[in-house]
Structure formats: C-alpha cells, structure tokens
Structure 1
Amino acid sequence: MNLKMKSLLIVALGVSTTLAGCAGGGGAEPAEQTAEAEGPAAEQPATEKPAAEAPKQEAVEPFTVSLRHIQIGEAQKFRKAILDDVVAATEAEIPGLAFELDGVEDQVNRFTKLPAEMAAGNPPVIFDLFGGTGDALKYAKAGRLLDLTPILDELGIRDKFLNLSQFTLDGKVYGLPIGGNTEGFYYNQTMFEQYGIAPPKTWEELEAAAETLKGNGVTPFAMGSKGAWVPLMMVNTMIGRYAGPDSINGFLSGQAKWNSPEVVAAFAKYKEWVDKGYFTKGELGLEYADMLNQFVTGKAGMMFDGSWRSSVFKDPAQAFDLTGKVGYFNMPAVPNGVGDQTYVNGNYGNGYGFSADLDDNERKAVKAFIKNLYNDDMQLRGLLEDGVLPSMKLSDEALSKVEDPIVKEVMNLMKNAGGAFSHFDSVVQSDVYKESEAQIQKLIAGQASPEEVGEALQKVQDAANAAQ
C-alpha cells in the first residue's frame, strides 16, 4: 500500500459489550472477555482512515544558464561528451535549471566574442576562459569574474589543484583549469620504420629525420599557420630551448628581451626550417584541422602539437590507417641552449570562468557545475578518454589505469623533466601576443627577418610594461 497516500489499516481486534466497549490492542485479550464477545461483530471488515493528502510541493520557476564552450568538431567529441554528462547531472541536481550551450571556435571566443562581452559587462554565466595576464587576470582586475575562493573552500577542493597561478589574483581564484597539457612532436611510426628513422633524441637527429623525410618526398612537419597560434606553439618551445625556460616569464618582468640574441636565434631557426621546406607548402592558408589531416593521411611525417591531440590517434574515425601507429617525443636540447634543456612546456591555462554578476539561482548552478566537473572521476575520465592531463591531484592507483601509450609517454617525459615553462601567451599582455601572431606570419611569408620580428615585439612589450 502506498504509505504516502493512505494511512495504515486499523484492524478491529475486539468489540464492545452491550453497555460499553473496549478496543483490543496489539496484546492479549482481557481475561473478563467471553466467547460471546467473538460474535459477528468481530468479523466486520477493517476500515480505513481518510487518505492523507500528499504534501504540496512549491512550484519551481524554470531558469536558464548560459554556457559557452569550445568543444566543437570531431576532434573534441570526447571532451564534449564529458561536458554533456556534467550538464545533465547539474540540471538533475538543481530544480528548474536548464543550460543553454553555445559552442564557439576557440580563437573566436578568446579574441573576439569574450573580449566584447567583457567590455560590455554581459559575458555568459559560464564560459571557456584562458588564464594569464592577457585574459583571466585582466578580467579579474576589471571585476568581471566571480571570486571562486569561497566555493572552492566550501567544496573542499581548493588544495587539490596542481596549479592555479594563471587564474589567481591577490590570493583569490577567478577561474579553474580543466586540465593540463604539454606540446611536442607526434611522429608516424610506420613511416619512421620504413625510412630507418629512430625517434630523435638530439637536435642533430631531429634535423636529420627532417632531411630524410624531405628526401623521400614527405613533408617533415605538418603545419597550418592560418591561425598564428599554431606555429607559435613550436616557436614558444624553441624560445624555451634557445633562451632558457626563465625567458618566458622574463618578457613581462623585463629580464628577458624579444630582441636578445637568444630569442632571435629561435626565430632564425624557425625561418631556416621554413626556407628548407620542412613545413607544409601553403601553410599560411591552412587551418589547424588541415595540419592534422596532413599528418594522418601520411603527407607529413611529424607534427608539433599539444598532448590534447593524443585521443585522435586511438580513434579510427579520425586517425584512419594511422590508428595506434603514432609516437611522441619532446623537442630535443639545442646546441648551446640556455638553462636546463630537460624542461618541458607545461600549461594549466585553459578552463572555465564565471560571470561576477549572478543571481541566487545562477550561483547555485555554478557551484553544482564546479562540483560535478572538478572531481576525481571526471579528471580521470578526461585523462583516459581524451588524453587531457589532469589539473587536479590524482592517486597513483587512478593514474595506473592509463593504457594509452602516447599518454603514458607524455606523463613519463613530464615526470622526468627538470621543470616546466608556460606558453608566453598566458604570460604577456594581449597587445604583445597579438603582435607575436602578426610577426610570425610575416616571418613565414618572408616579409620580416628574425631580427625585425624581435625588434617589433620588444617595442610593443616595452609599451605594455610601461602601461602597467
């Protein structure tokens, strides 16, 4: 019987005498009761009390929360699946909540839509956010981002993050990295075996591998430079090798100069590789996705990309015949490079930010979203399914579940590295980074020399530093 709708039945255990009655309880019958007392009256059917009314639930007012993400396209399908599950769990947890998802290409969100929304004071409630001086910290100073510190303390997860520096201002946290990443060379194992190439461990071996591939009609490095951030990945690591890992943060402090001989040497090496035909012909007209296509179709033997790409190479729908046949190695040490050459580029700069202007319902939704996304299960899932390095501390037991050979190699290389340096776009001001995009494309097109690139960047850097 439904206990929420009806009361329990009360069974008549006894009847009254002709003058007065006494109801029988749950125990034995009173001794003075006689057999006559067990007449027809005892056989009367049990009666029910009137059904109790169900408690009335207060009407829930529906509300929507906007969520801007960059998980679009086939290569992001694993991350999108994780996001969808987090959204569903959060909607189920918060009565009346419905998310409005807005998928936008990464660069469009970062450099076009979000800056305009921040200037107008109307960003989405939840949005993809890049950390560092030019993005998260700038918006935090302007009062546009929610201080997450109280929420993290309440959830007990503040100390679980590996690195929140790119989202922290004056001791307060204004964004959360969804994962970490590093960048290095992916290579076609079958092709390397075919041409007798071993995974390069030195700079000389790397350039010898490029020459061997080129000599066999294969582009050494897949590249798509229409989005300037793509070639700048490789340039950033070259700077870390030639000028040393401390140089990246040094641009902002003034301790490193874009026009220094060491940094110019990095631009010069990149230009040398362009002139030798090591990169995809027509790279300035090719997108990031085109670079991947060049690699997986065997038109290029190597590709410099982020660790986030690793999931592609276990998916036949994306990697085709190259599925399970891709290796990974770090950029080798450069001859006479400055500093510890075992350092890797390591970033915890991409994640989610939240609008500072929230009502009570939106704040509840944000808290639940953070709880459902930033936990051990989702961090491990991102690592196993998408190759995204965790931004939170995971146990050795959890990490032991990794089976993807590329991810295992990436984690091993990071474990044995002397340290990590960031990508300069998370450190320098927006004006400086925009200038770096313009200058690298000029360098590739032969419209600027390495020395001219360094001078142009240092001029903008000096102005940006003086304006702080």
Structure 2
Amino acid sequence: MKKRLPLIFTSVLSLSVLLAGCGTTAKTGSTATPTTQATAAATTAATPAPKKDAEPFTVSLRHIQIGDAQKFRKAILDDVVKKTEGEIPGLKFELDGVEDQVNRFTKLPAEMAANNPPKIFDLFGGTGDALKFAKAGRLLDLTPIITELGIKDKFVNLSQFSLDGKVYGLPIGGSSEGFYYNVPMFEKYGIKPPTTWDELTAAAETLKKNGITPIAMGSKGAWVPNMLVNTLMGRYAGPDIVNQIPAGTKKWSDPEVVAALTTFQDWEKKGYFTKGELGLEYPDMLNQFVTGKAGMMFDGSWRSSVFKDPAQAKDLTNKVSYIALPGVANGKGDQTAINGNYSNGYGFSSSLKDNELKAVKAFIKNLYNEDMQVRGLLEDNLLPSMKLSDAAVGKVTDPIVKQVLESYKKAGSVFSHFDSTVPSDVYKETESQLQKLIAGKATPQEMADAIQKVQDAAIAKK
C-alpha cells in the first residue's frame, strides 16, 4: 500500500493542473482558484486538531492526619497527592481530614452501611473493620494492583487486611506500644530505667513520693488506656490471648485476663495515673508528660516523632527514652513478646470508575515504595510496613526509633491489639467497661463478665 501513494499523488496533481489550464473560476468575483482552494484544504487537513484538555474529575480522600502531632505524616500525604495529580490528567483530590476515632467508629461505618464511602479512606484492619467491610463487598480487591506494581510480597504483614487470599487494604506503617520516660527526671530522682516489673513499680513509687504523677493518662477516649490493658493481657494471659478469645478457646472472664485488669485497677487506686483522666483527651496526656507533670507515658511508637520537635516537646526535646513493658512473675507464655501492629492504612471503594481506578493505582504506587517508607521512618518515626533494604534501615539516627527497633530484636514474638481481632461491638464494650472500671463503678471481674457476654453473642452469630 505504501508504494502506491506516490503514483496516486502524481495522478491527482496532474489532473489538477489540467483542470486549471482549461477551466474558469468557480464564482464571479472570487479571487480564489481551484488550485489555491485545494492547497488550503490540504493545509487544513495536514494541521492536527488542537489537543483537548483532559476531562476534570475528583477523587475523595479521607485521612486522619490532623493536628501538630500528625504534621510530618500529613506532609508525606500531601506530596503523594501532588505527585499523583501531576501524573493523572484531570485529577483533583478532595481531602477530608477527620479525627481518628470519629472516622473509625462513626463516619466510615455509616458510609459503608449506605454504600457511599470515600474513594480512598483511612482504614483499620481486622475483624471489626476491614474484614467486615470486605465481606460486605465494599472494598476494592487490591491483589491485582499490588501484583502489577510488584509490591505484593514486600509488605511485612498483610494478615489484618486479607480475606480468602485477597488483599483489601494496605498498612501505611507498623507500631508498637510501650513506656516513654523523662530522662532528666529519672536522673534527678535516681531512677533506673526499668527492665523488670519490680523496677517499674519502684520507679512509679519514687515519682509519686516526689509529687510527680507516675504515668500520664487521658481516658476520655477509652482506646488510650486500652493500649495498656492490651499489653497487660499479653503479659498475664500470654501473647496468644488476643486470638484465643475471639476463637472461643479463652474467655475475657478467665483468671489470667482478670488478673491483668486487676493490675490496672491497682495502679488506679495507687494514684499512678493522672487525676481526672476520664476528662482528658489524648493530646492532654501528651501535655501532662512534656510539661513534667508525669514521669512516664504509655503510648504507641508513632508518638516518638513529637520528642524531636521543640514546638511540641518543649523542654523535653531529645530528652525522652522508650522501653517495652517488662514481664510479670508467673505470667503465661513469652514474657519478651511485644505488641506489634500493622493495622492502620488505606482502603479503597469497590465502586470506582475507570479514571478513578487509574488514580488509585497511581496513589498506591506513589505512597507504597521504599522512598516513602524511609521518609516516614526518618521524619515521622513511623515503623515501615514494607521490607526495607539494610541501607535504608541504616539511615535511622533517631535514638527512640533505635530503641523501638531494638525491642523488636529482643522480642521472642509479636502480638497484635485485640481491637483488630474482636468484632467492633465487642471492642466498644471493652471501652465502655474500662471507663466504668476507672470510675470505680465496676470491678475487674464485672468488667470481664460484661465483655464476655457480648463476645459470646458474637461467637454465636458465626
């Protein structure tokens, strides 16, 4: 076909010349000749049509990175959003920042029930969140996407987002929970950094005798004290307890679990926690600690970035250390086990148009890679959810992050938080009952019995 084009073009040109020689203009008064008209037409045909701008579209993105404590993680998200918008023509993200607990327990469940969640949203893994929504068909199966991107096998742990061999969410990072302590205060009162249970209680007593609250606490949101309860349960009942209870092989009312709750109550009675804690929010707990009103604080490893930021840590900047909760005498199971979670990340709506799906793929590509994981580790002290190279891990200089990573090395095993293994109604009951315990309106046994009643109902539904 290509060889015939010159001959056809020559024939057309010869015919044009012949017609021009014996013909007249098409219209009286016209200055254009057939030849010039043909030339103009050819020029028009050869000129490409202007490129149409991409049709604009928006993708809703729900996040929980609000407030100063989350500013490093928000900066990472903003950069990912900007890069993704630059790669996908017409794309504009609509960001919606919502407080963590409001999103998890109020807004997102309601949106899922109505089948109108945001296209991208902060999501917790586990039975009461991601897996429940996945069973309802609300979450996008990410398996083909992460396989295509070559990152399927690069995550440390996807179990809390996996159902029937498919992946429905991606953790943004990992975390552990332990005690932060005020180094100058410990030195002032001659307190040895606790490595045993007796040393921990001795440190609490010394602080109390000197007019210092031993452990900062803000229990208006019961998930905060529940962090400590979860780890106490892992010590007294063993690290497998968080999976044994929902399986029905152990109970909340078992003696070992009640023993953990009793220790928490004993610490309440001894005045180890902040007075008026039921009226204090999570940020208030941090303020108690950084202002020197409390000598220790039980919190997640995600909080560590605060202590290198003078705007938040104030006089305590770079003067904080971290330890895991020591083992207890006669505790069940591995007493070196630590709480380790990979349960918070992003989920994606199963109802996506083609252009929205392209945006989701680009968002995942730009957020879940070694560069961003390293940045989260270095800037926000967020433990990586993906396997990093030795060179990447070697970039860590923050002393608290090193202490957290060291606690992982020393741990014989890792257990998750029960909020990712029990149904949401059971977890809500733990919060309600814990606040009653703190207020002195329930005993440890009463608390355990009440939670077990809800747990039994959940097991019966299976």
Aligned amino acid, residue 62 of structure 2: R
Q: What is residue 264 of structure 2 aligned with on the other side? A: 270
Q: Distance in 2 between matches of 1:409 and 1:186?
A: 11
Distance 1:54 1:156 in 2: 38
Partner AA of 2:155 in structure 1: F
Residue 383 of structure 1 aligns to a residue whose secondary structure is: helix
Provide the rounded CA distance (Å) in 2 between the counterparts of 1:420 and 1:328: 17
Shift >2 Å, 4+ stretches: 50-56
Return the offset for 1:158.
Answer: 0.3
User: Which has the larger displacement, 247-256 or 217-226?
Assistant: 247-256
The Cα offsets for residues 134-153 of structure 1, whole Å up to 9 and x where unpaired, read as 00000000000000000011
Q: Aligned equivalents of 1:413 and 1:247: distance in 2?
A: 21
SS at match of 1:127: strand
Distance 1:55 1:155 in 2: 35
How far is 1:53 from its partner? Answer: 4.5
1:241 match: 235
Of 195, 199, 214, 2:193 maps to 199
How far has the Cα of 1:328 moved from its partner?
A: 0.3
Q: Are 1:391 and 2:385 an aligned pair?
A: yes
* Alpha-carbon offset, residue 329 of structure 1: 0.3
Query: 3-state DSSP class of the match of 1:353?
Result: strand
Larger helix share, 1 or 2: 2
3-state DSSP of counterpart to 1:363:
helix
Residue type at the aligned position of 1:211: E
Secondary structure of the 1:129 match is strand
Q: TM-score, normalised by structure 1?
A: 0.89
Tell me the alpha carbon deviations over residues 54-80 of structure 1, each in whole angstroms, 9 at most, x when there is no partner: 663233100000000000000000000
> Is 1:438 aligned with 2:432?
yes
Q: 1: CA distance between counterparts of 2:411 and 2:265?
A: 28
Of the three residues 362, 368, 379, the one matched with 1:368 is: 362
**What SS is found at the alignment partner of 1:425?**
helix
Mapped to 2, the partners of 1:191 and 1:59 lie a distance apart of 62
Determine helix, strand or coil for the equivalent of 1:331. coil
Query: Could you tell me which amino acid in structure 2 is paired with residue 122 of structure 1?
Result: N
Aligned-partner SS, 2:220 = coil
Say which of 327, 348, 354 aligns to 2:348: 354
What residue number does 2:117 align with? 123
Correspondent of 1:421 among 415, 421, 433: 415
Structure 2 counterpart SS, 1:377: helix
Q: Structure 2 matches for 1:122-271, cutoff 5 A?
A: 122-271=116-265
SS at match of 1:182: strand
SS for the counterpart of 1:415 is helix
Could you say which residue in structure 1 is the equivalent of 2:79? 85
Question: Secondary structure in 2 aligned to 1:394?
Answer: coil
Task: Give the C-alpha shift of residue 415 in structure 1.
Answer: 1.6
1:84 Cα deviation (Å)? 0.1
- Secondary structure of the residue that 1:303 maps to in structure 2? strand
- Give the counterpart of 1:279 among 273, 285, 293: 273
Name the % identity.
75
Aligned-pair CA distance for 1:339 = 0.5
- Using the alignment, how far apart are the partners of 1:244 and 1:365 within structure 2? 44
Q: Which segments of 5 or more consecutive residues in structure 2 lack a partner in the other structure?
A: 1-42
Aligned partners of 1:132 and 1:426 also within 8 Å: yes
The residue aligned with 2:24 is: none
Q: Per-residue deviation at 1:295?
A: 0.2
The unaligned stretches of length 5 or more in structure 1 are 1-49
Alignment partner of 1:458: what SS?
Answer: helix
- How far apart are residue 121 of structure 1 and its match? 0.2
Compute the displacement of 1:290 (Å): 0.1
Give 1:454's aligned residue: 448
Residue identity matched to 2:125:
G
What amino acid does structure 2 have at the position aligned with 1:336?
Answer: N
| Equivalent-residue separation in structure 2 for 1:86 and 1:188 (angstroms) | 35
SS of equivalent to 1:391: coil
1:101 is matched with 95
1:256 Cα offset (Å): 1.5
Which letter maps to 2:326? Answer: P
Distance between the aligned counterparts of 1:191 and 1:416, measured in 2? 26
Secondary structure of the corresponding residue to residue 297 of structure 2: strand
Corresponding residue for residue 297 of structure 1: 291
Secondary structure of 1:446 counterpart: coil
In structure 2, C-alpha distance between the alignment counterparts of 1:407 and 1:256, rounded to whole Å: 34
How far has the Cα of 1:389 moved from its partner? Answer: 0.3
Q: What letter matches 2:57 in structure 1?
A: F
Whether contact under 8 Å (1:147, 1:174) holds in the other structure is yes
One-letter amino acid of the counterpart of residue 362, structure 2: A
Tell me the amino acid that sits aligned with residue 165 of structure 1: S
Partner of 2:25: none
Say how many residue pairs are matched.
Answer: 419
Secondary structure of the 1:352 match is strand
User: How far, CA to CA, are the matches of 1:153 and 1:56 in structure 2?
Assistant: 37
Equivalent residue, structure 2, for 1:377: 371
Q: Does 1:405 align with 2:395?
A: no
Letter in 2 for 1:464: A
1:310 aligns with 2:304: yes
**Deviation of residue 216 (structure 1)?**
0.2
What is the TM-score with the length of structure 2 in the denominator? 0.90
CA contact (8 A) 1:183 1:330 kept: yes
Counterpart of 2:331 in structure 1 is 337
Does the Cα contact within 8 Å between 1:247 and 1:255 map onto a contact in 2?
Answer: no
- State the Cα deviation string for residues 61-104 of structure 1 (Å, max 9, x = none): 00000000000000000000000000000000000000000000
How far apart are the structure 1 equivalents of 2:327 and 2:119?
A: 44
